[in-house]
Structures are given as C-alpha cells and as structure tokens.
Amino acid sequence: MKRLLILLAALLLAGFWASLTVAAEARRPAEWDKTVEAAKKEAKIVIAIPPSNDLRKELEIVLKQKFGIEAELVAAPGPKNASRIAAEKKAGVNYFDAIICGTGTAAGLTHDGMLEPLESFWLLPEVKDPKQWWGGHIWEDNVSTHKFLYSFLADVATHGIWYNTSLAKADELKAFDDYLNPKWKGKIGFSDPRMPSSGQSIWSFMWELKGEEFLKKLVQQDLFLTRDLRQLADALAKGKVAIAFGLGRSQADPFVDAGLPLKPIPAPKEGLPASNAFGVIGVIKSPPNPNATKVFLNWFLSREGQDWYGRLMENGSRRLDVETKWLGKIGVSAAKDTITVQEYHRLRNHLEDKYTKVRVPAGRFAESILK
C-alpha cells in the first residue's frame, strides 16, 4: 500500500509539473517558435562565461539538446573575457553574442558602449514580468538611462573566504581583525583586488567597513596575490597559504571532491556583502547570432533556466518560482529567503551605484598600496 501511495504521489507531482510546462508554453508568443527555428538555422552561439568547467560542459549539452544550437563557451575570468571582447570590437570583429559575468566586468562593458539594450531581446512573458522576480527587475547598470545588464542572482552569507583545515581553525577567524594576527603572515591568499574580481568585492567591503588603516595592516601580512582563482585554490589545497579571500565554490569544489582539506570560513562577525556572484547577463553589441541569442537569453531567464543555473553554480536566483531554500544546507542563503528587499539594497556592494561609490575607490586604494 505504501509503495502504491508513493507511486501515486509521484504521478501527481509529474502531472503538476507537466501542467505548468503546458501552461507556460501556451503563454509563449507566436514569435517564439519562429525565433527558435531561426536559431536552429544559425546553429551556433558564442558566450563568455565564468571560469567554470562544469558550467561550460553542461551548458553545451543543454543548448544542443533543447534547441539544436552548438555553443562555443569561453570560460575565463570576467576581465579577461571583457578585454578580448573590447579588442575584437576595436578591430571590427563581432564574435561574441552574450556574456555572463560579475559586477566589475559588467560595469566596464557598459561604459565602453559594447552592449545591446537587453529588453529588446526579451520574448517570453515570464521573463518580462517583474512580478516573477524578487525585488522586481534589478539592473546592474541601475544608474544609466538605458538598461544593458540584468542582475539575476542575489545571495547573502556566501562563501568568499576559505581555509585549509590542516593549517587553521575556523574558531581563530571570527572577525576581520583576527586576520592581522602575526601567525598568518605570508599565509593569506587574496584574489587580486586591483582588478574587478571576487577579491575586490571583499576588499571594498572591508574598505567601507573597516577603513584604509585596517587594509594597510592587512597588506603588511605579505599577501599572496593572484588573478587566477584556480591558482589560488591550488595554493590553499597544497598549504602554500592557510586562508584564501575571494575563492568561489566552483574553484574550491574540485579540491574538496578530491578529499583535500578545504572548507569555507563562516561569515565574520562583521558579515559579508550581499552578492550577485556570477549573476549578471548582457548581450554584446551586434551579436552575430541574434536569434540564437534571443533563444538562449529567454530560456536562461526562464524558471527552467534559472533553476538549472542556480543548482549548477550553487547560487540563489531572484526568480520567485525557483526553489532556493536547499542552498542553506551548503551555507549559502538566497536573499529572497532571508532578508527584505530593503535590507538587500543596504547590504549589497554591487550594481552600478555601489560599484562607482565603493568598489572603484577601494580598487584605486588597492593599486596605491599593492605594488
């Protein structure tokens, strides 16, 4: 009897999700089917993505299976992708169609005029409707008149600091001042805060909260600086450093899976900034595959696409119909599950306004004291 009840429950659940899919498809405009067919004829899309091999492999499969589109995915740090896009644009080459990145990279692309207005690529009602999104539509370029970059993730209590459990203990690192202990001299790694990066995000948070004198003392700890997050994770795993600032799960997980002693440090008592991680998307000016770009963008920002990306990257989508409470099991909290929209805007240090007022001056300060 119990097995029968389980089977019935499974069938009911399958029917529920099927009805949602049918309802969503019924709301799709006629233009959608035409665009999908045109995208199949283009048969290709080129996207700059975060430095995650899992994302590259899985997204290639999804786009091929769902839409018959071959995806060339350039997985690299945001600034590297942005530099390549800018160089090609100046040479008159239109190669990239879209980009997924973080705040610093996004801001640079907007100001250099290399992006298309994003809303002109939206087709699906579920993407267009602000009621589907926690906080409504939130634009990375929230100061500019035109909107080119969409911020689709929002997390709090993210894993921005990791440690080697054979060299340090979480109890020793409960506040930012603890990192000034002489025992950590030469043992702290940092994603280079002089460039747009996860390291710059934490650095700028410290700059705003603790001030420049604190950062000067932190620099005296002989930081191991790198612009390669894989190198940072490798240094932590091999014990070259005991602590790593700006390291993400996608870089740490391969070492964790291999049984190496890496763990995220709980947020310090001062907290960590609300983050949109690699949660910004934009369309490159004059994309060579416009229909494939429309299809990708609308799928990606749909319920299905956001659930897929959030689970793969372990981040919380702002879509209200995407389940994100499971993230709590790995120490990540989606903002929509834990704080108000007002509190989120108080805590964040991303989007164009905070980037200009906090991230940029903090980055300049880093350039002045890190030689």
**For the domain that residue 222 is a member of, what is the CATH number?**
3.40.190.10
Mean pLDDT of 199-228: 96
User: Exposed, middle or buried, 81 (CB in 10 Å: 0-12/13-18/19+)?
Assistant: buried
Those residues with Cβ within 8 angstroms of residue 313's Cβ, 6 or more apart along the chain or in another chain:
50, 52, 55, 249, 250, 277, 278
Across all residues in the chain, what is the average pLDDT? 90
User: Is position 19 within any domain?
Assistant: no
- Co-location of 99 and 84 in the same domain: yes
- The predicted structure's pLDDT at residue 81: 92
Residue 63 maps to a domain: yes
Cβ–Cβ contacts within 10 Å for residue 23, how many?
A: 9
User: Looking at beta carbons, which pairs linking 52-61 to residues 24 or more positions away fall under 8 Å?
Assistant: 52/250, 52/278, 52/313, 54/250, 54/312, 55/250, 55/312, 55/313, 58/312
pLDDT at 1 over 60: no
Bridge partners for 46 per DSSP: 72
Tens-digit pLDDT profile for residues 243-295: 999 988 878 989 999 999 999 998 899 988 888 989 999 999 999 999 999 99
Q: 287 lies in a domain?
A: yes
pLDDT at 159: 64
CA nearest neighbour of 231 among 202, 265, 255:
255
Please indicate, yes or no, if residue 348 is contained in any of the structural domains. Answer: no
**Per-residue pLDDT for 17 more than 80?**
no
Domain that holds residue 299: 28-154+276-339
Place of tokens 């045109």: 38
Q: Is the pLDDT at 9 greater than 90, yes or no?
A: no
Asked whether residue 303 falls in the same domain as residue 242, the answer is no
Rounded to 5 degrees, φ, ψ at 48 are -85, 125
Instruction: List all residues 6 or more positions away from 76 whose beta carbon is below 8 Å from its beta carbon.
Output: 48, 51, 84
Considering the domain architecture, whether residues 108 and 164 belong to the same structural domain is answered as no
- Residue 9 domain-assigned (yes or no): no
Lowest mean pLDDT, pick from 18-32, 307-321, 339-353: 18-32
Residues 186, 148, single domain; the answer is: no
**Residues 320, 284 contacting (CB under 8 angstroms):** no
Could you tell me which residue, 32 or 10, shows the higher pLDDT? 32
Q: Are residues 189 and 43 in the same domain?
A: no
Give the model confidence (pLDDT) of 108-140 as tens digits.
776 677 899 999 999 999 999 999 999 999 999
Residues 301 and 200 in one domain: no
Tell me if 55 is assigned to some domain: yes
Q: Are 291 and 42 in contact (CB under 8 A)?
A: yes
Between CA 321 and CA 55 the distance in angstroms is 22
211 lies in a domain? yes
Considering the domain architecture, whether residues 256 and 365 belong to the same structural domain is answered as: yes
Is residue 14 domain-resident?
A: no
Shared domain for 35 and 150, answered yes or no, is yes
pLDDT at 14 over 60: no
Task: Work out the number of other CB atoms within 10 angstroms of the CB of residue 39.
Answer: 23
Number of domains in the chain: 2
Check whether 26 has a pLDDT greater than 70.
no
Q: Which single residue is written with the structure tokens 């071959």?
A: 70
Residues 114 and 180 in one domain: no
Strands 243-245 and 161-164: antiparallel
* pLDDT the model gives residue 107: 73
How far apart are alpha carbons 109 and 220 in whole angstroms?
Answer: 33
Whether residue 150 is found in the same domain as residue 282: yes
Find the DSSP H helices in the chain.
2-26, 30-42, 53-67, 78-90, 103-111, 125-128, 198-209, 212-219, 229-237, 249-257, 290-300, 303-313, 335-338, 341-347, 352-354, 360-369
Q: Please tell me whether residues 250 and 364 are part of one structural domain.
A: yes
Of the candidates 151, 146, 143, the residue with the CA atom closest to the CA atom of residue 113? 146
Mean pLDDT of 182-211: 94
Q: Are 96 and 184 in a shared domain?
A: no
